[in-house]
Amino acid sequence: MIRFIKTGDIFCFLNEKNTYCFGRILSKVSIGNVAEILDFVSPTPEIKVNEIEQSNRLIELVILDSYTLFDRKIEGDWRIIGRHINYIPTDFENTFFTYGVGDSCRKVDIFDNEVPINESQAKGLTDYSPLGNYDINDLISDKL
C-alpha cells in the first residue's frame, strides 16, 4: 500500500471525538510522508473538492508513519480516499524538520533535502520523526 501513496493523495482519519479529519500528502521522505492536516471535520469519511479548497492547515506540517497508518493499519482508522491529480505543494518553503545533536544536527525540507546546521539553529524546528495516530490526535485535540 505505501508504495502507492502519492503527492496529492487525500486521506481521512477518525479523531478522538469520533469525527473524521482530513489531510493531503505533500511529499515522500525516507521515513514516511509529509502531510498537511486540514481544518475540515465531518461525521462521515467524505470530503468535496470545494471543502478541500476552502480548508486551511490545522497544524504545522507533519511526517506520517505511513507504514503503520495506511499499510499495516495498526493504529486508528486512516484511509486514502482520493487524489488531487497533478497537485503541487505550496507554502512549504520555510518548513524544515531536524535531527541529530551537537555538531551532527541536520535540517531536512519536505523533499528530503538536508543540510548541516548547528544545535541552536535546530531549536524550534519540528523533529524529523514519523508520527502515528496517537501523536496526530494529540497535536490536533485542542484545535478542533
Q: Kindly tell me the sign of the dihedral angle through the C-alpha atoms of 80, 42, 31, 72.
A: negative
What pLDDT is recorded for position 77?
A: 96
Per-residue pLDDT reduced to its tens digit, 33-46: 999 999 999 999 99
Q: What is the pTM of this model?
A: 0.93
Within 9-134, strands assigned E span 9-14, 20-29, 32-42, 62-64, 78-83, 97-99, 106-108, 114-116, 126-127
Lowest mean per-residue pLDDT among 60-64, 86-90, 105-109, 114-118: 86-90
pLDDT > 80? residue 84? yes
Strands 9-14, 20-29: pairing is: antiparallel
What pLDDT is recorded for position 59?
A: 96
pLDDT > 80? residue 2? no
